[in-house]
Structure 1
Amino acid sequence: MSKKSAELSRAERARAEIERQQAADRRRNWVVGGIVALLVVVVVVVGFVLTSSNDQTGKTAAAVPGGLSSDWTVTLGDPGAPTTVTIYEDPQCPICAQFEAMSSDALEKAVEDGRVKVDYRIVSFLDTHSQNEYSSRAANALMVVNEASGSEVFKAYHDLLYQRQPAEDTAGPSNSTLIDWAVEAGADRAAVTPGIEDDVYQQYVIDAADQMSKEGITGTPTIMIDGEIVGRGNPQEALQILLAKLKEGQ
């Protein structure tokens, strides 16, 4: 091999070695870059999870009233009664007031006889028809009274609120009047005053209306007998079906 040929051969080997090293460097850079990118993704994901967790931890849960047989429900009567009547009501709803006036005596007797238990589900969505958010304040007051004084006083207070229901689009009674009426129904003033004045179950009342919507209930009053809606949108028809059902059990 000539000197020139030997020099060319060394140059080619050197160039090949340089290219090999460059290729190795590129592969190494790709690996390092991939690892760095993966670490960035992991950091972002972990940060998101921690932030979400902190957000959930920091979120104030709605206070749940005591004395409920289950969420959203105030139960009157023997839990083992053969018939369950579920009533969705808004304190500002005038048709609810009419339904209560027509059905209250028959339902009370059926409850006393042990033939029926009544599940009241109090919701609020009619604040827009009140000058001072009476619907939600009254719903809150009902929850406070039930927790402080039990279901019998709740029922007496519930009946008073419907008997004295303000007309739609007017100013409803003040919180001080709601407290006075609660005392008239049998509640202890000191026990119910803070909860009514502070609107302690405001978020719970909002959540109850949301739950009603999730259950496909679109208005009040809605009456169910043993889980089946009766007289949908027609409380007169619902009342007739209800009274017929109560008569069967006599």
Structure 2
Amino acid sequence: MPRGTTMARNTPEKREQRRQRAAEALKERQAAERRRKMLTIGGVVAALVAIVAIIFGITQAMDTTGETPDNVPSVAEDPAADAEGDAVPGKLDGYGILVGDPEAARTVTIYEDLQCPACANLEAELGDEISEAIDAGEIQVDYRLLSFLDRASTNDYSSRALNALLVVLDTAGIDAFRAFHDDLYANQPAEGGPGFDDDELIERAVEAGAEESEIRADIEDKVYEQWIKNATDQMSKDGVNSTPTIRIDGEDADPQQLAELLQQ
């Protein structure tokens, strides 16, 4: 083949065109994979939510809420994070635990139970993206934590784990709360057996940043038991009958819509 023809095929313009076509093809494959992932998230979570909704209905028939709790959690300050100037804002608002910049453009509300498999699936698929958006000041998350899946374990794991998480929030602050919350979902015990006992919850809470001397008694005594019952009752009053339930700026949303928001 003549040399001139070979050179014509490999001109800078031709190479740039091939590079652009390859980049566009890669972009299309990545977009397709994101759509596939979002559809998978939505399908799996929807199936699990249907099961959880049935259990919720059964549990509500045995409701024992209404009493005033003796103990109400708060959000401890983190002097170290405050001194460094990188503390993530957090506060308790009724039964909502608000994490992130209150001036963020969007607010995402998530109702969840620490024993809920669909909630663990949501956290596994989108938890990192949620944390990154919080840290970037793009969203504020309103965590609505409740407990109606004690019957899914042999040792009331759902309410004991939530009590432990609230104790960490109250004594160690938002950063430890976030770390403990993520750990409990990443290592969620299987339904039908025992969840972590108090010693294991305490050990994991310490690894997340809490002090054992400040949390052991309150975890073992389940000091927020009544508050948790009332928070769970409030979920029903809010018109929520399954977990996870997601709302974006107060409007009902599904995992796919949340994933799309986090990709913006």
Q: TM-score, normalised by structure 2?
A: 0.67
Structure 2 match to 1:153? 176
- Count residues in correspondence: 183
- Which of 87, 98, 113 is the matching residue for 1:90? 113
Residue 183 of structure 1 deviates from its aligned partner by: 0.2
Indicate whether 1:117 and 2:140 are aligned: yes
Query: 2:246 and 2:147 mapped to 1: Cα distance?
Result: 16
User: Secondary structure of 1:81's match?
Assistant: coil
Structure 1 equivalent of residue 261 of structure 2: 245
Structure 2 residue aligned with 1:64: 72
Give the match's secondary structure for 1:187. Answer: coil
1:168 aligned residue: 191
- Quick one: distance in 2 between partners of 1:60 and 1:117? 29
Higher relative contact order (CA 8 A, sep 6+): 2
The gaps in structure 1 that reach 5 residues or longer are 1-58, 232-237
Deviations along 1:51-94, one digit per CA (max 9) or x if unpaired, are xxxxxxxx763421012430111121111111001111101001
1-structure distance, mates of 2:152, 2:68: 28
Q: Secondary structure at the match of 1:69?
A: strand
Q: Segments of 4+ in structure 1 off by > 4 A?
A: none
Query: Which residue is equivalent to 2:79?
Result: none
SS of residue in 2 equivalent to 1:79: coil
C-alpha contact (below 8 Å) 1:76/1:152 kept by paired residues: no
Among residues 211, 216, 222, which one is paired with 1:193 in the alignment?
Answer: 216
Q: Is the 8 A contact 1:127 1:135 kept in 2?
A: yes
Counterpart of 1:80, as a letter, is: E
**Is 2:225 the counterpart of 1:217?**
no
Counterpart residue number, 2:166 = 143
2:101 is aligned to: 78
| Correspondence 1:226 to 2:249 | yes
* C-alpha contact 1:75 1:151 (8 A) present in aligned 2: no
Identical columns (%)? 48
Instruction: Provide the rounded CA distance (Å) in 2 between the counterparts of 1:221 and 1:135.
Output: 14
Distance in 2 (CA, whole Å) between partners of 1:60 and 1:247 is: 42
Residue 148 of structure 1 contacts residue 191 of structure 1 at CA under 8 Å; is this kept in 2? Answer: yes
Task: Give the structure 2 partner of residue 127 of structure 1.
Answer: 150
Find the counterpart in structure 2 of residue 52 from structure 1: none
Contact kept? 2:69, 2:224, Cα under 8 Å? no
Tell me which amino acid in the other structure corresponds to 2:140: K
For residues 206 and 69 of structure 2, what CA distance do their matches in structure 1 show?
29
Q: Show structure 2 runs of 5+ residues with no match.
A: 1-66, 76-90
The alpha carbon displacement at 1:247 in A equals 2.8
